[in-house]
Amino acid sequence: MKGSVLFTNNIDFEIKKIALISKDSNRKFYIYGNCPFLDNIKHSLPDFIIINLRDILEPQFIEIFINNSESDFFVIKCLRFNDIMHRGVEKLQSLLGYKLVIDNHPFMGKSEVYWSYFLWSFFDRSLLGYPHCYSFLTALKNNSYNIRDVASKVISKTDTDINEIFKKNKIEVKRVLVDKKAEDDYRELKSKLFEEENSHLIIAQKLKRFINQRYPELKNGFDILRLGRVFDQYLKGIRTLIVSNLKVDRYLEDRFWEYINNVNIFMRTIYEGKIESNLHV
């Protein structure tokens, strides 16, 4: 199967790219999960059949699968799904034809690196070096990995006009000092949780919820308990990280910045790699 991934937020650039690559294709489909400029797409690409991912298995679209051929062209735009066994996604992975996968986040809006597997899996499941997402996830869990090495594997099948996702210098950190009573209660709860729970993450979540109840202002800004929400919050204009001086917030803040750095390093590696490859053309 043929295909490539495009990272962009520029709808005009996206449309020009689609028109160029798809010009010799027979049937053309635009399948999306999130598409805020859908009217622009419909107007600019009138020869495309526009389909939401949630409708892909509906009877009216069965022709996509039963008459599929190498001459078909698919745009797969910003798919968002939680079940890695999603039937619609599985079907799209097996279709013939050219697939232009478009997104604005290298982990499909999620916080975990392994979601990046799906972007290239629609046309080449072996590009990252793993036959399926489970083996990729296992490798990430069992080995220390270099995010640049992961990104470097997909440069040849990727284009982008985005060099970084998060502008770190635009994120303001506000720190809240807790009083002695709250700190003492926190330590008491911490000792209790370490006796009852085996997961450090669960302990951190319960401690964080405890201190958030004492200091409601900590609930504002980025949701560092659920890093999978951070990108959507960023797109909505949130630029503030509010944390206390307690150890649980230091731990969660470290995870937040690790996520921010991983996303930016991934994108920067691809962006700079494409520039370098173009210089040698």
pLDDT reading at 280 higher than 70: no
pLDDT at 157 over 80: yes
Tens digit of each residue's pLDDT (9 = 90 or more) over 71-120 = 999 999 999 998 878 899 999 999 999 999 999 999 999 999 999 999 99
DSSP secondary structure code for residue 157 in this structure = G
Give Cα separations from 231 to 16, 100, 107, 204, 238 (angstroms).
26, 22, 10, 21, 9
Query: Measured between alpha carbons, how far is 65 from 136 in angstroms, rounded to an integer?
Result: 28
pLDDT at residue 279, rounded to an integer: 54
Q: Which pTM was predicted?
A: 0.92
Q: In the chain, what are the domain boundaries?
A: 2-163, 168-260
pLDDT of residue 84: 79
CA atoms within 13 A on the CB side of 249: 23
Instruction: Using pLDDT thresholds of 50, 70 and 90, give the confidence band for residue 278.
Output: low
Cα(251)–Cα(249) distance, integer angstroms? 5
- For residue 76, give the nearest of 25, 35, 125 by alpha carbon: 35
Q: Into which CATH architecture does domain 2-163 fall? A: 3-Layer(aba) Sandwich (3.40)
**Strand 172-176 to 98-103 pairing:** unpaired
Stretch 146-170: mean pLDDT: 94
- Provide the total of helices (H) and of strands (E) in the chain, helices listed first: 11, 8
Q: What is the mean pLDDT of residues 25-51?
A: 93
Closest of 84, 92, 74 to residue 112, by C-alpha: 84
- How far is the C-alpha of 26 from the C-alpha of 69, rounded, in Å? 9
246 touches 211 (CB < 8 A): yes
Q: List pLDDT tens digits, range 192-223.
A: 999 999 999 899 999 999 999 999 999 999 99
pLDDT at 281 over 70: no
